[in-house]
Amino acid sequence: MALFVPKDRKSLFRQFLAGMYDAVVITDPNGYIIEINARAVEHFGYEQDDVIDKHVSLYIPGLAAEVVQRIRKGLEGDRHVLIDANGQTKDGGKIACEVAVSFIDLVNPGDLVFTIRNVERRREMMNRYRTKSNAFQLSPTALFGCDRDGNIRECNSAFLEMFGIENIDEARTHVFSDFMCDEPLSENFKKALEGETTVTGIVAENDGEDGEEIEITLAPNSHGRKVNGVVGSILKV
């Protein structure tokens, strides 16, 4: 039977670094670089030979020597410190980063590990979400979203105004049928849960006056193939 021969620690450590999703920069206690992983090369453009003995501020300009020392003091009471920062690539580009700093005894006691996560994609997604959210609220068309049981989960200001509701918390105490019980809307709600989009015109009754014509669109609120609920719009024609 073949004997299991463990690899040396240095080899295992390098394999671990190579497999990390985040950029990893290991420094001495003063912030001077000892080791980096492949993701750090990918993110910042510097090869390892370019950065050995350079200060970590090469990657994160905000991490000047005095800042690193303040972080070290903060680490004495905590297992890690988490900071938001802007990284800088070799070609001068900027990267939004989330940096976790912790201790490691690699070459010297008190060496530092900077685990750097590129959050550009997350920030871009959040900006897109805010843009969509703002557009949702500013739309003059009443917009809403329900779960599969018809409970109102989201709605905009136009929806609140249309139905005389004070705020979103009050709206969430209602269900779809509280506002839209006319046929064929209940049937259209079921169709939306099955993946179909419907557009229906109805006449809303007003006290002693001609009714208003309203166009109601219902559509599935999908995530991949799963329908999580129904979204809709109510437009006065």
DSSP 174-233: -BHHHH--STTHHHHHHHHHTT--EEEEEEEEETTEEEEEEEEEEEEEEETTEEEEEEEE
Report pLDDT for 18: 78
Report pLDDT for 207: 57
Residues paired with 214 in a beta bridge: 202, 236
Per-residue pLDDT band at 139 (split at 50, 70, 90): very high
Q: With beta carbons less than 8 A apart as the criterion, state whether 163 and 199 touch.
A: no
The angle formed by the CA atoms of residues 228, 234 and 186, to the nearest 5 degrees, is 55
Q: Which amino acid is at 159?
A: F
Report pLDDT for 124: 76
pLDDT tens digits along 58-81: 999 999 999 999 888 888 766 778
Q: Which residue has the higher pLDDT, 225 or 230?
A: 230
Average pLDDT rounded to a whole number, residues 162-171: 94
Give the Cα separation of 52 and 118 in Å (integer). Answer: 21
Per-residue pLDDT band at 201 (split at 50, 70, 90): confident
Report pLDDT for 5: 46
Average pLDDT rounded to a whole number, residues 217-234: 92
pTM of the model: 0.56
Q: Which residue has the higher pLDDT, 176 or 4?
A: 176
Q: With beta carbons less than 8 A apart as the criterion, state whether 232 and 147 touch.
A: no
Find the helix or strand (DSSP H, E) in which 34 lies: strand 33-36
Give the Cα separation of 150 and 134 in Å (integer). Answer: 24
Report pLDDT for 205: 65
Q: Is the pLDDT of residue 47 over 70?
A: yes
